[in-house]
């Protein structure tokens, strides 16, 4: 019986309330059943597998737990070749040859910590898909720079798409190179930080444009820089009178949580208001280490948000997204965005339809608290900015969408990669 029928029945309020409560309880049954089958980094069974993998990695590298817990050791000992990973994955010769071919075209790298989250016996493991280079990346589909960041760079290492805010790209280095990365064109063959000349020019640009009130520091991953470099950069940005807030875009709480040291948090504390957005894409990434990293940041009064990327075979499932977002709230991370995947070259195997994203959002509303419902956005091609979905959709035939961006510009977006 629907709620409207209940309200028009002759039953007592108590009887109606109990019937309604029973109906609401039944809505949870399917989710609870499915949740049991979703991997989570702190579930006993998954934690046991991760611990076993960690022991295997440490034994292979001949190190102790103290080394494993050191972010500098993690960063310096990233795995970056198929040969290096042969001890962990049971590659047959054909697989190995194919992966070697792909890795010669696209660089990859992962920390020993993040590697330990992968079940080496599961070819469909979500972390494996995000981490390990794949022959799927060789199909040639997609664009090198779909959001045309190169055309929104007025000075230094700035990206500017909006009137009052901009990005400073301080490095191309990451603890782990995501296979779905928007900026994979910048990964190159080696890690490279922006030069002091580029940073100086970027700071001068912000100083000379008083309408800029919000600065996002990203890369690559800015938390791969030293404490001293981070401190200096934040000090310089914070010293600009019209800059109201500073944001940091980083995946280190997920891929190298050892980086979030008490010393780093003490540095961040000096530059409030400070916001940090990270990228958890699956509940398996929520481990005791990532939990402690996020809690340490929250204790330092850093406001945390999550920017999940919707990825086929990783999280294109309403129950996974709900479970992830509810678990993030438990570690003080507010689900902020779900990004529709961008049409970056080499990432077509991750692409999902807009309808998939919209159906996930429809499910979240009412089935979980508002705090666990992020904004679903399309980062429009051509540098047109973020478009919230479905609000920005003017019309659609299910394949081509007419979308209006924040400036009122209409553009067509094909939902085919």
pLDDT above 60 for 1: no
Helix (H, G, I), strand (E, B) or coil at 360: helix
The secondary structure of 12-30 as a DSSP string is: -HHHHHHHHHHHHHHHHHH
Comparison of pLDDT for 95 and 397, the residue scoring more: 397
Q: Mean pLDDT score of the chain, rounded to an integer?
A: 95
Tokens 């500073």, residue located: 246
Which of 326, 280, 277, 283 has the alpha carbon at shortest distance from 302? 277
Secondary element (H or E) of residue 301: none
The answer to whether residues 147 and 382 touch, using CB atoms and an 8 Å cutoff, is yes
Bond from prior residue into 171 cis (ω within 30 degrees of 0): no
pLDDT for res 107: 92
pLDDT for res 95: 83
In DSSP terms, 277 is beta-bridged to: 249, 305
Task: Categorize the per-residue pLDDT at 81 as very low, low, confident or very high, splitting at 50, 70 and 90.
Answer: very high
Residue 417's alpha-carbon distances to 61, 159, 344, in angstroms, are 41, 25, 9
In DSSP terms, 403 is beta-bridged to: 393, 411
Backbone phi, psi, residue 54, to 5°: -60, -45
Residue 360's alpha-carbon distances to 231, 312, 333, 364, 413, in angstroms, are 40, 13, 20, 6, 20
pLDDT in tens, 3-49: 556 556 678 989 899 999 999 999 999 999 999 999 999 999 999 99
Which of 205, 137, 140 has the alpha carbon at shortest distance from 168? 205
pLDDT for res 8: 63
Question: For residues 365 and 324, what is the distance between their CA atoms, to the nearest angstrom?
Answer: 15
pLDDT in tens, 62-71: 999 999 999 9
pLDDT above 80 for 413: yes
pLDDT for res 73: 98
The answer to whether residues 127 and 285 touch, using CB atoms and an 8 Å cutoff, is yes
pLDDT for res 2: 61
Kindly report the number of other CB atoms within 10 A of residue 131's CB atom. 24
Ranges 182-186, 246-250, 304-308: which has the least confidence:
182-186
Question: Which tokens is 132 given?
Answer: 């390990």
pLDDT in tens, 155-211: 999 999 999 999 999 999 999 999 999 998 888 888 999 999 999 999 999 999 999
The answer to whether residues 106 and 99 touch, using CB atoms and an 8 Å cutoff, is no
Let me know if 153 is exposed, middle or buried by CB neighbors in 10 A (0-12, 13-18, 19+): middle
pLDDT in tens, 102-126: 999 999 999 999 999 999 999 999 9
Bond from prior residue into 148 cis (ω within 30 degrees of 0): no
């Amino acid at each position: 019986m629907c709620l409207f029928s209940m309200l028009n029945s002759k039953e007592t309020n108590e009887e109606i309330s109990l019937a309604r409560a029973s109906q609401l309880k039944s809505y949870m049954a399917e989710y609870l059943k499915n949740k049991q089958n979703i991997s989570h980094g702190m579930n006993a069974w998954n934690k046991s597998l991760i611990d076993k993998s960690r022991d295997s990695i440490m034994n292979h590298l001949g190190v102790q737990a103290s080394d494993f817990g050191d972010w500098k050791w993690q960063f310096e000992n990233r795995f970056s070749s198929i040969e290096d990973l042969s001890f962990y994955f049971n590659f047959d010769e054909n697989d190995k040859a194919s992966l070697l071919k792909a890795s010669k075209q696209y660089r990859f790298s992962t920390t020993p910590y993040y590697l330990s989250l992968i079940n080496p016996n599961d070819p469909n493991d979500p972390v494996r898909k995000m981490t390990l280079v794949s022959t799927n990346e060789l199909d040639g589909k997609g664009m090198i720079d779909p959001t045309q960041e190169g055309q929104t760079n007025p000075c230094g290492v700035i990206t500017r798409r909006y009137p009052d805010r901009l990005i400073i790209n301080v490095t191309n280095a990451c603890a782990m190179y995501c296979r779905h990365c928007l900026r994979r064109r910048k990964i190159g063959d080696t890690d490279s930080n922006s030069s002091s000349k580029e940073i100086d020019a970027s700071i001068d640009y912000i100083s000379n444009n008083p309408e800029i009130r919000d600065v996002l520091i990203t890369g690559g991953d800015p938390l791969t820089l030293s404490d001293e470099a981070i401190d200096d950069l934040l000090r310089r940005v914070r010293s600009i009178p019209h800059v109201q807030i500073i944001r940091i875009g980083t995946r280190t709480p997920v891929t190298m949580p050892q980086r979030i040291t008490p010393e780093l948090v003490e540095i961040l504390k000096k530059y409030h208001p400070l916001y940090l957005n990270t990228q958890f894409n699956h509940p398996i990434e929520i481990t005791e280490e990532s939990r402690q990293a996020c809690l340490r940041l929250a204790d330092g009064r850093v406001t945390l948000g999550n920017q999940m990327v919707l990825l086929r075979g990783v999280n294109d499932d309403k129950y996974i997204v709900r479970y992830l977002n509810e678990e993030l709230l438990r570690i003080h991370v507010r689900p902020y965005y779900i990004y529709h995947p961008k049409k970056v070259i080499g990432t077509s195997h991750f692409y999902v339809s807009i309808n998939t994203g919209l159906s996930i959002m429809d499910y979240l509303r009412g089935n979980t608290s508002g705090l666990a419902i992020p904004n679903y956005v399309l980062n429009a091609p051509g540098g047109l900015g973020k478009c919230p979905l479905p609000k920005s959709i003017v019309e659609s035939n299910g394949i081509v969408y007419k979308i209006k961006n924040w400036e009122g510009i209409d553009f067509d977006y094909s939902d085919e990669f």
